[in-house]
């Protein structure tokens, strides 16, 4: 869903406050005016508008640092259009068209996207960058919900500052134990956090809750090949 702008601003501000209190170096800066997405965004993602929530977020000129849990970082508007489409070939078994999302956060082995249109507009989806790449699932119902969940993770002590790396990291033991994470932060969906979920049944259950086409997911490699063929055809049609 799309957040009320005041709710979104407050959620991001509260996350920054919690992150800096934990030790993250994130200098305060004045809110920037809302800009416009690059000209090709609507054509690239096959949408007729881009939500103010996303354009506001991308207008804020965040410091070029790893500001997110597990050393994740914010991805700016795409500049390499072909690479953007190629990456979206991981979108196997989503309840919305594969092009209706833009990459927003990078956690090395996980990508989070913002859904741009349709009934799922404003949702945040996560994709595991694994050889099989069938780990698509909703991370949060909205951008504000995502930041609120991360804030709760910090205040609960599940996410702490790592002096060695200079970013926020999951406390030892929590990173690879979903049950421990849920125990520490019981009121936040565990998929909100950028941790690897080894129990495939948890992902499959969440996919079913979100209306994912499990038949497509179960066809695995064949489905990926079909989507990648579609990506190549789309790139040709857009001349990128």
Q: Which residue(s) pair with 74 in the sheet?
A: 105
| Domain ranges (residues) in the chain | 5-238
Residues 40-94 pLDDT 10s: 999 999 999 999 999 999 999 899 999 999 999 999 999 999 999 999 988 887 8
CB-based contact 117:108 (threshold 8 Å): no
Residues 148-177 pLDDT 10s: 999 999 999 999 999 999 999 999 888 778
pTM of the entire structure?
Answer: 0.94
Q: Cα separation of 23 and 167, whole Å?
A: 8
Longest Cα separation, the chain = 50
Q: What angle do CA 108, 113, 77 make, to 5 degrees?
A: 90
Closest CA to 93 of 141, 132, 37: 132
- 23 to 20, 89, 154, 234: CA distances (angstroms): 5, 37, 11, 44
């Amino acid at each position: 869903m799309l957040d009320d702008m005041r709710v979104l601003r407050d959620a991001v501000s509260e996350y920054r406050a919690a992150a800096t209190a934990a030790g993250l170096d994130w200098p305060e800066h004045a809110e920037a005016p809302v800009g416009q997405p690059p000209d090709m965004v609507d054509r690239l993602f096959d949408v007729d508008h881009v939500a103010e929530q996303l354009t506001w977020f991308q207008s804020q000129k965040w410091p070029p640092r790893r500001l997110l849990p597990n050393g994740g970082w914010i991805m700016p508007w795409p500049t390499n259009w072909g690479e953007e489409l190629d990456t979206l070939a991981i979108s196997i078994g989503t309840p919305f068209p594969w092009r209706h999302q833009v990459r927003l956060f990078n956690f090395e082995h996980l990508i989070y996207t913002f859904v741009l249109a349709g009934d799922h507009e404003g949702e945040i989806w996560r994709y595991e960058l694994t050889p099989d790449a069938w780990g698509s699932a909703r991370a949060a119902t909205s951008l504000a919900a995502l930041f609120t969940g991360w804030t709760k993770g910090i205040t609960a002590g599940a996410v702490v500052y790592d002096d060695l790396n200079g970013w926020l990291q999951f406390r030892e033991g929590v990173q690879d134990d979903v049950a421990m994470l849920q125990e520490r932060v019981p009121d936040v969906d565990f998929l909100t956090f950028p941790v690897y979920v080894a129990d495939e049944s948890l992902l499959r259950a969440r996919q079913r809750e979100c209306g994912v086409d499990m038949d497509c997911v179960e066809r695995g490699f064949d489905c990926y090949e079909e989507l990648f063929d579609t990506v190549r055809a789309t790139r040709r049609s857009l001349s990128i």
